[in-house]
Every structure is written in structure tokens, then in C-alpha cells.
Structure 1
Amino acid sequence: MAVLKTYLLLLLLCIGADVFAVGGPVKDTAAVNKLNKLAAARFSSDPDTTFYYASQAINIARKINYETGVADGLVQAGHVDYVRGKSEAAVKCFDEAIAIYKKIRDNSGLAACYLQYGRMYNILADYSQALKYLNMALAINKQANDEYALTDSYKNIGIIYFSQGKLSEALDYYYKGLFIAVKNHYREFSADLYNDIGVILQNMEVYPNALEYYKKSLAIYEGTNHLQVLGILNENIGEVLVAQHNYEKAIVYLNKANNIAKKQSDQDGLSSVYTDLGLCYAYKKEYPKALSYLDTSLRIAEKYKIVYNQAYAIIGFATVYNMQKDYRAAYPYSVKGQQIGARLGNLSIRVNAALELNKTLAGLGRINDAYKALNEYLDLKTKLKDNESIQKLTSYNFELSFAVKQRLLAEQQHEKDLLYKQNSRAQRLTIMIFLVVIMAMVVITGIYYNEKRKQQRVSAVLAHKNSEILQQKADMDTQAAKLNDLNTLKDRLIAILAHDLRAPLSTLRGLFGLLQDDSISHEEMLSMIPDVLKKLDYTSDFLDTLLFWINSQMENFDRAAKCFPVKEIVARETEHYYEQAQGKGITLIDSVPQELNACADPDSVRIVVRNLITNAIKFSRDKDVIEVSAKRDGENILISIKDTGEGMTAEQSKKLFKSKVNSKTGTHNESGTGMGLLFCKDLIEKSNGTIWVTSKPGKGSNFFFTLPSADKVNMAASENPVQAVAS
């Protein structure tokens, strides 16, 4: 229920937001009217929701001084109050609403309020007051010629006469309402009146006909959200089944009615159903359960002053105790039931009270009193089954059937006349439409042909332009790719020059600086000349290699792979960098065996070895060891440059060959470009090899790369000489 209230509050806030966003009084009153309509619509399925909507409508209407909205909300709130047994609160709501309706001269609202007042007094068994208000509502509705409201008035007046035991008068009003409902297709009113007539038949003990009327009503309401009416119908069917001794089936219907009454907090319905269940279990000889249901029923009826249900429950107690032959316990209930029945004037109650009192007195041995009670029972029973009521019922049924048939025949004839007129008009209209369509088709065809020709010409021009644009885009993409490749080549060239030429040139610059300053003697200079020449030779060789690598990046470069001893290249590079390593206190070891021959571009391999050795020196410390080794690995030669220097993390290792990295400074603050290893990867992959690294921080790094062995290439050449020549 809390979730439902939250939902309703959100809905109300949405309505309020819409209202106050506009800010006009017309919108405010429209919102109040909408809330009151929602309240009325939800009563049958959820009285709590009705009360919530009505309360909100009253609050908003009071704020904007909208009197009609206040009165309509009060009628809805009062309706919920008296169904819940709060008759005093209902009277306050109705009295205020009546005062407002009279002030603003709203006769329709006044009639609706009188109707609710009458219904409330029926529950309270104050039939004179009930008839007073219902007849006032009837007079207003007759004057307004409001057939819908008239039907409701006739139905409710019939209920009052039934409650008084005046079955003949009740039938008069029921059928007045039913004729109007059938004529105007008021389905729900028709269903309600079928149910009311069924109740009369049930009281007259004409059970098959009563069930027929109940089922007619149920067929209309089934599948709707009118839970209150569905509860009443299920209870009535259950009562008939009890009278026919079909107790198990009766319990099913009564439990359905009980669940609906609980859901709606319908105290009247709950009290009535509990009495029915008590009697049903009594007939099944389950007396404790029967007494428990009757006790619950009586407590509810007394608490909410539902007099009819009090009498019904009290007579139920007398019935159960008589069945158990506990006549002393039955006696006070029998007497009290007779007293309330006499006060109510309801024939059904009085008949049942007289019957149970007769049984009780006979059981107590009070024969004369029992005989009097029996005579009273027989007299009342005769009145209940009054021939006048049966004759009226038969007559009304005949009239109703005739009226229904007449209405159906009139409707069928009217439909035939309408159909004939519609067909005549339709034929003329069809001919005119046909002619218009033909003319329109001719015009549209001409327009379409001209437009199609124009469209074809425009499409041809657009297709040509589109083709030109696509070709231009393709040319621009090709040029952009070439420019990008050239830019990348430029970056790589600058990086290599910065990486590998800085050290030799710095050495030469230092030497010439010493000569210029006369800082060294002639003999010292002569002793340095071999080393300088050696560095110049190396630099010249490096430039040749660099130019070769630059050529390798060109599209038309024809790679000339050949077989060579791995030892030769490694020895030359380690010899060149031996002095640089020794200057940092690093031991550089060449462990490559003489017999290993690889097949690749030697200059590319030399660049790779040089880069890996200089990197190892850069990140090694005093007393660290750099070892270059090689071995056969299947059909490849595996070359390793291992150092015991600083090492790196796994995350750093993953980035080395993927993109340009931010180069760290070496152990003696040597700098780098961060591009050297990318070039190495490029050269090795062009030589059909792979390159990778393993490293641990503080323990050094080990770079590996593979090259195809000479044996592998020679074997491939012998198997496919044409392919070998091509490669």
C-alpha cells in the first residue's frame, strides 16, 4: 500500500506541475475535476485510492476557491467513509457538499449527494431517511430528464424496499431501472439490476432463476476492475449454492468475495461474507470454525453499526446452536434476532428469525410458544413467496424480453436503411472518385515523366562529380601517406644521426681543442693518432651503413641478403666499443663462436648490434658485465646481448618495441632519442627475424634477436632455385 501511495503522490505532483506551470484558474479547476473523476472511477476497485484522490481534489479546490470541486470531492470522500463504517465522518462530508450545491444551484451534484446519503442510511437500516434522500434525488433527475441518473435512483430505491421486505415494490423499481438501462445500453446498470432481481428470487427460494440472473450480471462484470460488484456477485452465488447444499463450491465463491472485501476494506461486505462462511461450515458440521466466523462477523457489524448484518449474524448463531441442540445457548440469539428483524421489517430476516425461534422453543419444551413462532414463520413465508411478486416478475420478464426484441428489430431496420443510403452515396461517390483518379493519374504520369527525365540528368551530373571527388580523395590519401612516410623517415634519420654520430664527433672536437691549446705534446698527439684514425674509420663505416639503411627505407630498395659469419660483425663492434666500456669500468665480452653463419643484410645486422651494445653500456655501472653471445636455435641463429646493469620493469619492457619511448639518461647521464630500438625491430623484421627482451630491475637486461641460418637458406635454395634467386 505504501508503494501505491508513493505512486499516486508522484502522479499528483505531475498533475500539479502541469497545472501550476500554466498558472491559470481554468487549468487549476481542470486538474481538480480530473482528480474527482479519477476518484469516482477507482471506487469499485480501490476505495483507498478514491479517498486519496478526493482529499487532494478538496485541498486544491479550497485553495483556489473552486466550490464545485470541493463539493464533488466531499461526496467521493463521504462515499468511502460510510463504506468503511465511518458514518459520522460521511455525514459531515455530505452536509457540507449539500450546502455548497444549494448555494451554487448545482442540481446534478445535489442529486448525486442525496443518492449517497440514501445508500448510507440503507446500510444503517434507517429506511425512512434512506427513502427520503433517494426520492429527493429521483425528483431532481426526473426534472432534468437524466436517464442515467434516473436508472441509478430507481435501483437504489428498489434496494430499500427489498431491505424492508416489500418485494413487490422492490421489483417495480428494479424493472423501471432495467427498462431504461436496456434501452440505453447501460451495461453496468443492467448487470447491477440483474443481481438485485436475483437477490429477490433467492429470497423467494427460486434458486435456479436466481443463479441465472447472477450469472448474467457476472458475465458483464467479469474481467473488469469493479471489484466491489464482483465481490457481491460471488457472495450471492455462494449463498445460493449453500441453499442448494453444494457447500464445497459455495466456499470457493465465498472466499473470492472475502478476499475482495478485505482488499477494499469493505466492512459491510466482510461482515456479510463471514456470516455466510459460518453457516456453510455449520452445515458441514464444522461447528468451531462456524462459530469463529460468526463471531468475527458480529463484532464487525456491531462496531460499524451495520444493523442488517448484526441480525444476520445473530440468527446465524441461533442456527448453529440449534443444529448442535444447544437450545439454551440458541435462545437469546433467537429472541434478539426476532427483535432486530421486527425493527428492520425485512421479511427474509424475520422468516429466518421465526424459524430458528420455533426450533429453539421446541427444543426447550415450550410447545405453545414454539407453535406461535411456527405460525408466525408460516405467515411470513407466505408473504415472502407472495404470488403478486411472482406474477410481477413473470410480467416484467415478458415485457423486458419484448422490449429487447423490439429494440433489436428497430436497430436492425435502422441499420438496413443506413446501409442502403450509404451504398447509394457510395456508388455515386465511387464513380466521381474513379473519374477524378483517372484524370489525376494522367496529370501525375506526365509530371512524373518530366521529373524523372530531370532527375536522370541531375543524377548523371552528380555521379560524374562524385567520381571526380572520389578520385581526388584517393589521390590526396596517397599523397598524404607518402608525406607521412617521408616525415617518419626524416625523424628516424635525425634520431640515428643524433644517437650514433654524437660520440665520435665529440671525441674529434676534444682532440682538436687540445691541439689548439697546446695542451698535449707532439709525442702524445702521435700516440693518439691511431685511435683517432680508428674512430674516423668507424665513423666513415657508420655513415656508409647509415646511408644503406636510409636506402632500405625507400620503396624501390632492393634488399641484398647474403650469408656471413656472425663472429665477424660482433667482433668488429665489440672491439670498437671496448674502450668506451672500459672507460665506465664495464667488462665487454664477445662469446660468439666462429662457426655460426647467418643469412641477412650484414649492414642491417651491424646497426642492430651496435645499438644494443651502446644501450647496454649506457645503462651499465662500474664492474658490470656485457656479454654478446650467439648459438644455433633450430633453423635460426639466436644472438644475445646481455648486461648486468640497471634493468627495467615488465611494463617498460612491453613498450620498447611498440612506439617511441621517453629515453632515460644513462648511468653517466648519457642521453638518447628513444627511437633506436624501433629501428632495430624494423631491420630485424626485414631480415626475417624477431627481436625481444627479458629484464629485471637491478639485475640487468637480455636482448635477443634471431636471423635465418645459412644452412636454412641453402636448403631452401636447393629445393626451389627460382624462388631463391628471386629472393
Structure 2
Amino acid sequence: MKIFNFLVFLFLICTSSTGYGSSVAYEGTKEDTSRVIELNILGNNSRLTDPQQTLEYANLALALARKLNYDNGIAEAYRVKGIGNYYKFQTDSAVQNYLESLNYFSRSGNLGGQAKVYNNIGNLYLTMTKDYGNALTYFRKAFVIAKKLNLQSLIAGLYLNIASTYQRQNFYTKSLEYYGKSYALFTELKITTGITQCLQNLSAVHKKLGHLETAEKYALEAIEKAKAVDENFTVASTNLTLSGIYVTMGKYREAQKAIDEGREYAGTDKNFKRDFLVISYTLESKRNNYKKAFEYLQQVYKEESELYSNDASEKYKLQEAKNKQEQIQKENELTIERQKNNILFVWASVIVSVLLVVVIVLLTGNVRKKAKTNKQLTALNLEISTQKENLDRINHNLEEIIDERTRDLKIKNKKLSEYSSHLSHQIRGPVATLKGLMNLDKEGLIDKDEVIQQMEKCVNDIDDKILHINDMLHDPHKYGFKSELHKDL
């Protein structure tokens, strides 16, 4: 009856509730949306060669997607804008772009898009603020979704980013493990950008571990592949690693060549400028050119001061952005939950009227079945009681049989003990005689013939006693064994 009352209550709520409107975003023609997708791809692909071009493609995609009311296109355009600003080191703008992207992806229920944005935010924490804990948190959130949706290229990128995080924490064994996974997957997918980044980072890790020749091999291969696809940032950063390798190996000319090439590809990037100043200082120190080394050190100090100030500002901005993003995500989850509840109410109003009839029929049938079941249970209880009484009688009989057999075993054990004692008593005399004869023979106190004669007599005596005891064991009453035994004892 409780189920029945609940369903009636639910039916009244559903039938009395007002309808709700739903809006579906217009996504234009297939050709229009394809153009948005194409522009976003072009923007993403140019991030390592020309971040400004990335922003221009993203703005074109965003304008067209807004015109078409194409939510997924708008979300991806914001994400690509964030990537462009990230590579231009405009962190505040990048954060805002990522939050806008995440908002649109959440509204459209695009989990794959959300995973990509989580990956981008993780990169911000990794490279801009060096907050490795939050970086790994976002990478793992992205990885769970990517694994669920089988997004192979994103999984490969996440392996790379997780490996980079472990590398910066000096966990080199874990770092190499994840770089290996990333390299294998990027190679399988034939994604050159991922391959070059893996090679570059593998070179850096092996340099840290002191595997200089291996590090040099990976660095040269990374530079070659990066130049083939115009990845300026990768060429610059790999030359930075390679110059450090050459300084450690004592190849100062090659180190200077790598520094010069790296600066050329780095352009005006402040972080690269600082890093190349540091390696130049190290190189001049190794060359004993202390005056030049001191000049580089002064420039490093100046750059470090500016970058430290910027890092503190970026950490604050990123924390604010994180809080804002979490708030937006909670609001989106509440909106989605409300929509789900509305849909459930609509379906309930359609289905409940049918369910009510079915439930009433089922309840009536259940009452009848319950009465019938009670009768069957009563009969079963009676049968069980009868069986219990029978079992009790059987158990009682078994106990009597066990007692009887226990008494029988005790009697047999006692008889066996008596037989053993008798055997020992009968055999002991002839054996003692034999031992005496052997001692007399050893001392030469008796003739050989007499020894043999006496030993034969003892052996025959023993044999007779054994045969006699055997007969007694088979039929003890025939020989009055028990009486003789008790008499001897």
C-alpha cells in the first residue's frame, strides 16, 4: 500500500505541474560548421610556430560559430584562443579563454572538449606557476574522460604532460615510463609534434641521469624533426638542452653553436632569453672567461627578478581562475541536474497512469498469493517438525550404537595389551638363553657343538611358543589363555 500511495502522489504532482520549454542551438549547415572546425584545427596546429596566427584563426572561428549559434564551435574557438595566449605567455587571457571554453563545453555536455580544457589548465599550472599538485589533478581528470571516450591523441598528450610533471619533480624513473608510453602512442598515431616533444624531453631526462650520449642522440633527432615542421619553440628548447649536454661533455664550440641557433628560433620569448643567459654564463665559466660570465650573471639576475614578480602575479590569477571555474562547474552541474529532473517528471506523467493500473492488479494478486503461501508455509512447518522428531530418534539410536562400539573397542584394546604382555613373557626366556650362550662362546667357556645344540633347542622352543601364541590369538578360550595369563601375572 505504501508503493501505491507514493505512485498516486507522484501522479498528482506530474499531472498538476506546468510544461517547460526547451531550446536547441541552431548549428547552421554542415558546410558552415565544417568551416568552424577547420579554422579551429588550423589555429591549434600553428601554436608552436606562430601563436599570433593561432589567435587570428581562433577569432575567425569564434565569430562564425557565434553567428551559427554553434556551441561546440564556440567552446573550441575559446580553447584555441587560450592556447594562443598561453604560448604568448599571456596567462590571464589564457585562463579566461579556458573558462569560457569549459562553460560552453559543459552546457553542451561535450566531455571530450572538457577533457581537453582540463589538460590545458593543467599545463598552465605546470609551466606558469610550477604548482605540480594541481597540474597532476587536472591531467588525471582529463585522463579519466579521455580513457572513457578512447581519445588516443589526447591520451598520448596526457602521458607527455604527466611525464613532464614527474620530470620537474625529479622523479626520473616515472618520467621515463610515461615518456615511453607517450612516444609509442604518438608514433602509432603518426603525430610529429608529439614525437618531437617526447624526444626533446627524453633528451633532458637522460642528461639529468648522466646519459650524455643518449641525451645528445635524442636532442639531435628532435631538432631535425621539429625543423621539418617549423616548430620554432621545440627547436629553441631542444637546443637549450643540447647546449647543456655539450657543456657537460666539454664540447664548447658545439655548445656555442647550439646556443646561437636556439636564440634565433626563440625570438623575443622572455623565458628562453633567461634560460640562454644561464647556459651562456655556464659556458663562459667553463672557458674561464670570467668577465663575460659575470656580465651574463648580471643579466640573469635582472631577468630572474622580473620573472619572479610575474610568477607571483600569475599564481594569484590562476588561483582566482580556479575558484571561478569550480563555481561555474557547480552551476552547470545544477542546471544539468534540474533539466534531468524535469525530463524525469515528464516521463513520469506519461508512464504513471499505466503503472497505477498494473500496480493495483499486482497488489490484488499478491494478496491472494500471500494467503496461499501462508497455507503452504504452515504445511511445511508441520513437515519440518515431523522430520525433526525423526532426526532426534535417529540421533539417539546412533549415540547408543557409538557407545556400544566404544565399549567393544575398549575390550579389544585390553585383550591386545594382554596378548602383547604374554608374548613378551614367553619369548624373553629363550632369547635370554641365546644371549648367554653367545657370551659363553665369546669367552671360550663352552664347546662349539654344545653351543649349536643349545641354540637349536632355544630356536625350536621359540618357534613352538610363537605357534602356540598364534593359536591362542585365534582361539584364546581353547587354551585357557586368559586364566593362564592372569595366573602368570
Where 1:369 maps in the other structure, the secondary structure is helix
Where 1:385 maps in the other structure, the secondary structure is helix
CA distance in 2, matches of 1:334, 1:384: 25
Residue 284 of structure 2 corresponds to 361
Please say which of residues 131-140 and 371-380 is displaced more in the overlay: 371-380
Residue 220 of structure 1 corresponds to 145
Larger Rg: 1
CA offsets, 1:490-516, max 9 Å, x none? xxxxxxxxxxxxxxxxxxxxxxxxxxx
CA distance in 2, matches of 1:406, 1:384: 31
**1:427 Cα deviation after fit:** 4.7
Where 2:170 maps in the other structure, the secondary structure is coil
Aligned pair 1:157/2:81, yes or no? yes
Identity of aligned residues (%): 17
Specify which of 222, 226, 231 is matched with residue 301 of structure 1: 226
Change (3 A) 1:286 1:399: same
Where 2:109 maps in the other structure, the secondary structure is coil
Change (3 A) 1:254 1:158: same
Change (3 A) 1:416 1:168: closer
Residue 3 of structure 1 corresponds to none
Aligned residue-pair number: 333
Residue 174 of structure 1 corresponds to 98
**What TM-score do you get using the length of structure 1 for normalisation?**
0.42
Residue 231 of structure 1 corresponds to 156
Specify which of 71, 79, 93 is matched with residue 147 of structure 1: 71
Residue 289 of structure 1 corresponds to 214
CA distance in 2, matches of 1:373, 1:313: 22
Residue 137 of structure 1 corresponds to 61
Q: Quick check: 1:358–1:373 contact (8 Å CA) kept in 2?
A: no
CA distance in 1, matches of 2:346, 2:31: 43
**1:106 Cα deviation after fit:** 4.2
Change (3 A) 1:183 1:392: farther
Letter of the structure 1 residue corresponding to residue 183 of structure 2: N
Where 1:404 maps in the other structure, the secondary structure is helix
Letter of the structure 2 residue corresponding to residue 182 of structure 1: S
**1:379 Cα deviation after fit:** 4.3
**1:348 Cα deviation after fit:** 4.3
Q: Quick check: 2:61–2:77 contact (8 Å CA) kept in 1?
A: yes
CA distance in 2, matches of 1:136, 1:415: 34
Change (3 A) 1:296 1:244: same
Residue 417 of structure 2 corresponds to none
In structure 1, list runs of 5 or more residues that go unmatched. Answer: 1-100, 439-727
Where 1:285 maps in the other structure, the secondary structure is coil
CA offsets, 1:605-644, max 9 Å, x none? xxxxxxxxxxxxxxxxxxxxxxxxxxxxxxxxxxxxxxxx
**1:288 Cα deviation after fit:** 0.6
Aligned pair 1:371/2:294, yes or no? no
In structure 2, list runs of 5 or more residues that go unmatched. Answer: 1-27, 364-489
Residue 210 of structure 1 corresponds to 135
**1:173 Cα deviation after fit:** 0.9
Where 2:46 maps in the other structure, the secondary structure is helix
CA offsets, 1:223-248, max 9 Å, x none? 54422211111111111111111111
**1:423 Cα deviation after fit:** 5.3
Q: Quick check: 2:163–2:175 contact (8 Å CA) kept in 1?
A: yes
Specify which of 176, 182, 189 is matched with residue 251 of structure 1: 176
Change (3 A) 1:377 1:329: farther
Q: Quick check: 1:195–1:233 contact (8 Å CA) kept in 2?
A: yes
Aligned pair 1:276/2:201, yes or no? yes
Specify which of 167, 172, 186 is matched with residue 261 of structure 1: 186
Change (3 A) 1:312 1:410: same
Q: Quick check: 1:118–1:134 contact (8 Å CA) kept in 2?
A: yes
Letter of the structure 2 residue corresponding to residue 363 of structure 1: K
Q: CA RMSD in A?
A: 3.0
Q: Quick check: 1:131–1:160 contact (8 Å CA) kept in 2?
A: yes
Change (3 A) 1:167 1:432: same
More strand by share: 1
Change (3 A) 1:299 1:408: closer
Change (3 A) 1:428 1:350: same
Letter of the structure 2 residue corresponding to residue 360 of structure 1: L
**What TM-score do you get using the length of structure 2 for normalisation?**
0.62
CA distance in 1, matches of 2:286, 2:42: 44
More helix by share: 2
Change (3 A) 1:251 1:185: same
Higher relative contact order (CA 8 A, sep 6+): 2
CA distance in 2, matches of 1:265, 1:380: 40
Letter of the structure 2 residue corresponding to residue 355 of structure 1: V
